[in-house]
Structure 1
């Protein structure tokens, strides 16, 4: 590769030189031929003129003696060969007309033709000039031999080739010698550099040459020395860094140990928090169950107005406490991401009406107009979590009523259908309250925050309501906005993306087609809402906005004998006196005898006796659509006297004979706490149910398999067999004929246990409220209507209640004594657990503490502590400590 350029250049130069020599040789031969031809032409012009052929022959013979001349001819003007060196006249006919020297190239010779010009001297005496006149008298035809030229070319080629070979050999030898003097030192340099790069910094280079190689040698050796020194320094620094790193790793390991301990401690704290909340759920809600249940029962037992007032206060306060506990527990579950949402089909209108109905008494008490406005044409049923949507709207409505002293609270719902499967639901809750400043709005959705420090003192509350609202909405992948102006009010706007249930539609559209109604309502929003509802049902509506307008329309109807089926009239809080209502009805009766429906801002009202017999009824605002529809339908069908339906129910819901409501229902109750068992039994038997009660999970399984029950209530914490195990066994044994299984517990976190509790069809949480219990049963069994229980009770129930509690506690304590006598710790644990529940339920705090300690001591089989705690229980019940057996 090193010789390639040199060889290439040498070959190119040799070719160029040889080619030039060959061209020069050819040109030389031609020039020489032309010179000979010109010489013959000049020498033969006189002989051609005189015709001396002998002399001409001598000339051509002399010319042939030249080495390159092959043949010579002299031709006259008639193209006849005058003289020639051979017997040939091959070109005489072709060259007879040539007047100048020409050269032609044949395959084996060069042909040169030279004209022979005879020059004559002419003297012009007149002009005194001498002119030379030339006349062609013939031609010289000269043939130059190519063979001799080729011989010279071959010789030139051989000479140049020899020179090239010799030059290449010399160049190769010189290149080899030069390369050797370069490559050997370079190899040594390469080897030394490889050795140094391999880590052998002690390697030294010794070439033994001066010049550039010597400088390179010194540079490499110097570099190796510096690298060695640098390596030693670097090694020292690395050792120091390694030592520091090891110390750091040890410190990190120590910190990791501390962090691990801290993590475990945090997990323990978190578990403790969950356990604490679960315990608090049980410990707080259990006595709340007693407070709420007992207060409701006592309110039905007593007739003294002051006592009823105090019990009503107790009931309201206990429900407020229960609401705060629920808020704290819900917030804790959301913080721990343990709150699961349902995805079921539900009627959004029914959910909103239920929320409005719940808050309407407080709104009426504050003389506020509570309005529900639902956009016409909104899909009847959608998929989502109705309980959580109800909780969201309920919190917002509760806040709106709480912070509004006058005016109205408007709840409006609308939707935008995205496609045939999805819609965006928008719910607005707008009040005319005090409003919020911008600074208050910034922290509005933070947990435990209030609009200002005075709010908590004035209105109360945990400050968790709006935080729970936002978290629930975010968990549903929606969002909430707030608009507020100080002294004008606040509006919350909720956006939720939900799916449409296309299998269910609103069956009330155009069901009252052809009916005519006269509507009088002073509140514009309420009037628009009622009017839109009526129009959706196909009712022809005539709207009145003033008293004069209302009276005028009544007179027109009478005078023109115009068809009108019903009068719907709204009345404010200030018009709720008996004389006012009676006067309004009588004024209408003076002009018309058509049915009258009054819309009142109250949930408690009795129609004056004077108008009961008339076709008059009243509805509580905000109006329930289904109730209004039933009333109008009954008027349209002329089926019943509308006054017959006005007696009793303040909201005109259908009244059912509760004593026979569940008459065909067989219910099994499994509850280890005897008093709770009896309380739940009494609640269900009051509605006609056939109740069987057992005291633990094992008996529950046996009873369920032996009987044909519709519903089974199971306490989750029972002796011998817990509620979850019992539920699974009942479900497995019954197969497709399994009863509905309802878990009764005070642990609101029970649903977080996942698949374990999926066996249950529903849950009721202590404190068990009668209306919640009925709601669960009606949902499971598809019953319809709201229920009112007969309030008549025996006047000695209160005394019997106390005696029954005392007997229950004594019975449990004596069972514990018997277990102690037999060293049966399992029996002591079971009955101590039941005693703890009863004491907590009815706030027997001292005995509850002893029962809890006794349960723990029995679990750990601490005999001395068990005996000591039993003696304390006996002392509290004033039973002799020597009592050994249960009589």
Structure 2
């Protein structure tokens, strides 16, 4: 094979240059012959044409038509002549013979042709030549006058055939020469290649194991030397192979013994691995079971210890109870860590993402850990960057768990200095953000070796650290797993004896604009002095106050503040914020009295929340305004606004006063075709003390607005006959020029284009169902100004709401985690009114089976418009009734119908039917009244816990 390849390559090397030269020569000869034939054809036809024109001169001059006809027919007998035409003196066709000429008309006027002219058509040659009078011919006039014109056409086809024959003959000779030359080259190269083939054959035999194969030594020169070298190489290989085989046999014997030993060890290792896995599984189950069993009685210990602490005890007994509480809390923390670790290991830990204020979540953790930081005198500060959206969708419980672990560790391992929590945006794409939170301390730091083992379970930095600070070694492991489950990473940067920075990032969604707290700008134009010696705390205060529009003046102490105020050259100060721990003035009482009473500069004193005695002492000394650390952003803002505007009602008072106590001078119209939804809205509005009117259709709403005046209208969107958008247009057309009643859209579901059409129709705002009392309070304040709400809870009038696009995909995993019926949620939506919650649930139960039958009928009939109306109404009815799985299924089905994705409709309706059947089954299996009684107790307990947390905060 290789020999044949070499032989062919040699043949090609010799053949290709010769073939190229011969081919070029062939092309040249063909070109020359072709041109000669074409030129000969042209000369011959031109000569014949000229002769015919000369012969026709006299007959044409004499107008002898018979002779002319005869001469024309004779001209066609010439070789290749195809057609002939004769034109008279005015260039009109006079006589012709033969078929019609090929090609188009003559390119120029025939009368302008004074000499022979050739027109090529590709298939013929057409000559146009003037016919001169006999006199001009005899006299050889310089400017002859034609008496007519002759057109003679010649067929070029025979010449073409002759040209092709010439080309074929040349090609035949060329191919014959190439074949002969190839066989000659092949014969000569074979004489050279044959010895090489023998060498290749021998080498192949040696490669396949025939070490006795040899090359016949028949060649001379270099080939002979190559044959001899191959034979010598074969001899050397044969000798080496013999020695190697002996060594291999010995090594094989030794390896066989080693493999037997390794096989025995592998069996033993596999048995040990299985035993270790089984032991680890038993350990995990044991930890989970024991942790749960221990936590149950421990909760009882903590609960009764808390009750015991509230009774009349001696100081020694209070110390005992305090010790029991603190020890129990430590033990409960360890048990919770073990339980979380076991859940994570088993993959059963689920996130509960919800819309939450990120700033408040961080401040909650700082408030919880304040006693530990105050005991060590540490500066704990939160720096929340201004570009970070406050309201995000994430799991607040798990985020607080990670933050608590990191901040608690920072406090634990820092003896002096500060702990700084920074929150910033790492990446943002539309409503998706990656938030980075870092915790920086000035503690003991970690070495490189300690950092490598830090995120391993049941491990600590080193044994001495574990003995000094304690702990399970699970906190960072759990934090790492939680952060990864939230789509982020966690890491650290640390230098031994210089401190550490633990950081993590999470992926979250930005909550809609209606849920975002607006910027607080109520301090515009105010000048606030900050007396704080600690750098990070001072930076945090400056950052927040400047963000509210105020100017900040940094002053070192109370004494310097006093000198600043009495100096007429210094700018005036409206409020002073003083950290009592960073102030070193000895006579604080005297300074406070002078600053506040003599110089009329109110002072907001900051103290640690654990310093109750200090707070009492400050009040006794004359301090009028006090705020406990850690400082919450909202509390600081409310305190400053309350100091600067004492005549205005404080935000906290407005929150306590509530909307239910306002005067009933606000008239509200609620429109909804679903009786349960309408009843809920009217009940909630009645509880707020407003005058309400209800309508069940768009027509009734339009008529009601003509008969009465309203301050606000809540308008359902999808209603039969006249929908909410059409009703809004009618109301706007009927309004007077100087009247504009705010109309708020109510719907459980809306796509982006539908949301825009609501605003275009004249609606002012949008509320998504389910609607609760808090949403109604905010909306009433926003559009009527009937009560005072916090800046965080209200939006600026006229701000266009941002509505998120609903997802068209059904999250089956999330669906499986939701309960079929949640009556506590139903009570929440009914503002705790049991009768209202029962009525809404019973209305849904009564119509559910009927709606199911109609839904399936509309689907089978292909009436998607009626199907959409029915599913929308069902969706709106479910959002208040505590049926989360059915609500989610109806929401998805409505999305599919609105987006026209009918290919996914069958699967969506299958899930919807399953959820309807599940609710019907639940109603049959449960006593609804008893279930509501249990839900009332749970709801009351949750309210109590929430109130307790609020009071504590």
Same fold by TM-score greater than 0.5: no
Whichever of the two has the greater Rg, that structure is: 1
TM-score (norm. length: structure 2): 0.41
Higher RCO, Cα 8 Å, sep 6+: 1
